[in-house]
Amino acid sequence: HWTWEFGTGDIGNDGVHQIDIGRWGMNLKAPNAVSCSGAKLGSKGDAQETPDTMVVTWEYDDLLYVYEQRDFTPYRLQAHRHDNDNIFYGDKGFMMVDRSGYRIFYKHERGPAFEEKWQDTPTHYQNFITCVKNRQSDELLAEIEEGHYSAMLSHLGNISYRTGRRLVFDP
């Protein structure tokens, strides 16, 4: 994942799964524009070429979707159950979603007001292999087109990073 010739950096590694959650939560498809800045700030003296720190902004008609990646920070797990999550901000508070479930926090209240954990499901990998063997695409846990949109956002973020430009996108 960490060299450009063979990889996409963390945005195309674990980031694409987080982008999936954010897109699903906001019902997003293709953006109007994308911009990205980043750098390799944490790991020094190794062969990694891709950034370990990125901020990507995808522009839609009525919102900005922001992805932040900070792989090297030692405090990632202090406020979060896992090393990453999605935060949806609303008028009355916010919701944190990660691979285990979600928590809802209200303004001016300490701690989560509500929490729910996901039920265990087969892994996407196992589900994909099973569906290929059975030729049953309708049993996929994630629709192929949805995966395409999330991968596209990852690639657009990397293209913006590598060109150093804001990209206007017209699908």
Find the range with the poorest average confidence among 77-86, 104-113, 137-146: 77-86
Any idea which fold 9-168 has?
Dihydrodipicolinate Reductase; domain 2 (3.30.360)
Token pair of 163 as six digits: 């060109």
29-33, 39-43, 65-69, range with the lowest pLDDT: 39-43
The answer, yes or no, to whether residue 71 has pLDDT greater than 90, is no
- On the question of pLDDT at 12 being above 90, the answer is yes
Question: Would you state the pLDDT for residue 74?
Answer: 62
pLDDT at 133: 96
**Predicted local distance difference test score (pLDDT) of residue 85:** 80
Q: Where are the domains of the chain?
A: 9-168
- From the list 11, 14, 27, 2, the residue with the least C-alpha distance to 67 is 11
Summarised one tens digit per residue, pLDDT across range 147-161 is 999 999 999 999 999
pLDDT over 80 (residue 34): yes
pLDDT higher than threshold 70 for residue 170: yes
Q: Is 116 left (phi over 0), alpha (psi -120 to 50) or beta?
A: beta
At residue 101, the pLDDT reads: 87
